[in-house]
Structure 1
Amino acid sequence: MGCKSCTTGGCGTKTATGAVGGCKNNGACGTGGCNKMNVFDWLSNMETPSTRRYDAAVEVKFKGGRKEYYRNPHQIDLTTGDFVVCEMQTGYHIGCVSLQGELVRLQMMKKNIPFSDDLKVIHRVASPKDLEKHEQAIARDLTTMYRTREVVKELKLNMKLSDVEYQSDNTKATFYYSSDERVDFRELIKILAAEFKIRVEMRQISLRQEAGRLGGIGSCGRELCCSTWLTDFKNITTSAARYQNLSLNPSKLSGQCGRLKCCLNYELETYVDALRDIPQVEKPLETQKGRASLQKTDIFRRIMWFGYSTESTWYPLPIARVMEIQELNKKGIIPESFDLLEPMAERKETAKGLSSLNSDLEKLDKKFSDRSDRKKKRKKKKPSSGGDPAASNGRQNQNTEKS
C-alpha cells in the first residue's frame, strides 16, 4: 500500500535501477495501512472541535507488536507514525505512535485501563540523534541473542530464547523465552550483565506469543493471525474440530506454535447453530436389510449418509427422514430396506447436485485422457527404422518421378 504522507512519491514502485522507491519508512506512514497489527483510525478524516479533541493519551507501538498507552502532558501535536521518546521504569525508550485521538479513549475503556498519574509520560518527539542511538540499540539485538543462546546451552538450561529487545538508551535489555517448567536463570543473569554491561530482564512468554513475535506463513498461505491482527488468545479445544467434522489429525490441526490453530474458533458459532436441528445418531438405524451406521454428515446441506456393514455404498438421507426412522425404531417398527433410501425425486436432485459439483473434475479427467490417447496414436503412426529395403527403394523412385 502506498503512503500518502510521503513526499517522495510512488511508494512501493521500482526505480530504474530496480530498487524499491518511496519513503522507506517501513510502515510508519500516516495512513496506517502498512503498520503491523495496526488499528484503522476511522475518525482520521473527521474534523473534531479543538476543545473536544482527545490528546491526553496516545497508543505507542514497540518491537514485536507490543503496545502501551502513554500520557501526553505537554500537549505535543502527534500524528500516527511519529517516533516519540517514552518514559520507562529506568531510562527511556523510543516507540512509534500507532493510534491517537478519540479512538485511544475508546480502546482504554475497552481494556479497562484507567487514565491516571500511573500512566507513563511521553517526553518529546524523537530527534535524529535519538533515532541514531535507537538504531544502534536495535543492531545489538541479534548478536546478543546468538551469544545468549550459547550461554544457555553451556549452562544446560531447559529454555528456548526467542527474542531480545534493547532499550533505546542501551541500559537495559529484555530477553523473551519460553519453557515448560520453572527455570533458575540467576547464573545466566550474572553472566549477561557482566558481559554486556546492561540491566537484564527475563520475560517468559507462551508459545502462541512466541509465534506472534517471530511471525511466519500459515498453512492457508497467509501471514500468521497472531503476528498481524490477533492479540487475545482464547482457549481452543478439540471439541471445536469435532463440531466442524474435522479429522483429529494433530499435524493438520496444529499451528506453527505447536498448539491448536486459533482459526478453529472463527466459524465455530456458525457450525454450532447449524447443528442444533441435526439429530444425534447414538446407535445404527434398524432396517429389515440390516443395521445402517452413520458415515458422515453434510451440515449445511442437511444430509446424513448411512451405510450397511455388508456394503460399501453410502445412502444419502435428509434429516427429516432420519428422525422419522428413529421414531419408528423407538416404537419397535423396523422399516423396509428401501425406506432407507431417498425418494426418487430427491435422489435425482442429489445426483444432479453432485454431478454439477464434480463436472469440473470430470472435464479435467477427460482432457488429460484425450491427450494420452493422442500420444499413443502418434507413437503407432511413426515408421520403424528397420523396414523393407524394396519398399524404401520404391518410395525413392516415386519421389524422383514426381520431381
Structure 2
Amino acid sequence: MRTTYHHTTPNIDLFKYKLLQWSQQFDDVVWLDSNNYHQNYSNYDAVLAVDAFTSIKTDYTQAFEHLKEYQNTVKDWVFGYLTYDLKNAVENLISQNFDGLEFPDLYFFQPKKIFFFKGNEVEIQYLKMVDDEWKEDLKEIKQINESTYQQINNPIKIKLRIHKNDYFKKINSMLAHIHRGDMYEANFCQEFYAEETTINPLETYLKLNRISNTPFATFLKYQDKYLLSASPERYLKKQGTTIISQPIKGTAKRSKDKKEDEQLKKDLLANAKELSENIMIVDLVRNDLSKTAIKGTVAVEELCKIYTFDQVHQMISTVISQISPDTNPVDVIKSTFPMGSMTGAPKISAMKIIEALEETKRGLYSGAVGYFTPMGDFDFNVVIRSILYNETKKYVSYSVGGAITAKSNPLKEYEECLVKAKAMRQVLED
C-alpha cells in the first residue's frame, strides 16, 4: 500500500524547517514534534503527514462510530483531531457557547505522504499512487530558501472574553458548586482573542515552538483553519495492548535564577493543593481506563512527578493499563474522552457546570491531535498552550484554564492562567 524510502540529512533542523515550508501547499497538514524532549513511550522525534487521499469529517453525532468505521476500513495511517465537544457524543451534553473558530467536531485523513524523523534519519512513506513523486518532492524541499516566508507585522490587539472581575465571580460560583457537593474539581477555561487579524500561521508556530520547546508540539492545517500548539501533555497512547495516559495537573513558573528555579520546583512538589488536583485526576483516569482494561491491570507508574519545560514546571502522572487484543482502539478513546485533566470530577457534573460558566465553545482547544497506525495503535496529545486561527474569518484565539478545587484562591488561579498564557501572548504581540 505504501512505498518506503530513507533519507539522511546532516542538518535535521534545517530539513525540518524546509519540509514545513514545503507542506504549506497542501490543505491537510499534521506536524507532530517532540523537540527531542526525553520522554518515555516515544516512537519518533517528529512526524509530518500531508495531502489527504481519503478523509472523514463529522459533527459529534455518532462521531466515534463513524471514526471506528473509517479506521477499520482504511487500515492505514490516519491523522487528525478530536474536539472537546465530542463530549456530546459520549454523554447527554450540549455545546452552546460562542464559537469564533468553527472547526468541525472531528476530522481525520489518510495522508498520501508521511515523513518520520528519528535522529538524522527520515523515513518517507508514500502511497503507491504517488510514490513516483518522492524524488521530485525531495528536490523541491532541498531547494527551498531559508527565508521564503512572508513576514506579517500586524499589531494584534488581544481581548479578554472574561474580564478579571467576572472571572472572580465565576470561580466563586464554581467554589459554591464544590462546597454543595456537585463536584470536587473542575477545569475552568477562558479565551483571549483578536478579530480582523492576519497572521502567518507557520511562522507563528515556529516562534511559539522556539520559546516553549515542548514534547507534543503540533502544527495542524485543515483548509483555512490552523492549530499552532506547544502542548506539553500526552492524552492517550496505545502501544500493542498497553494504554498510557499522562495527565498534567500542577503548574509553577520558571525563574532564570537557578537556585530560585529549583526552589519553585520543590514548592510545587510540596503544594498540597496542586498535589490534591493531580491525585484526583489520576483517580478519574484510573476509573476511565478500567472501562476497557483487563481486570487488575490499571496501575500508576508515576505519581506527581515534576517535569521542567522552558516556560513552566509541571506535575505529571503516568497511568497505564492492559487491554484485550480484540478491543477496538476507538472504544478506548471514547471511554476516556474528554481527558480528565481538562474536565474535572465527577466528570459529567463538572462538564455541565463548565458549559454553564464558560463563555466560549472550546472546540479544538482541550481536544486532541494525533494518529492511528495501520496496526491500530495510536498516540494523541492534549490541545493546550495553543493558538487557533481561522484565516477566512481573520479570527485568532488562545485559551487557558486551571483546576478549581475547594482550596482554590481566585486571584492565584487568575495569575496561574496568565503564566500559562505568557508564551502565546508574547508570540502574537512581538
> TM-score, normalised to structure 2's length?
0.20
**Higher RCO by CA contacts (8 Å cutoff, separation 6 or greater):** 2
Higher strand proportion, which one?
2
Structure with bigger gyration radius: 1
> TM-score, normalised to structure 1's length?
0.21
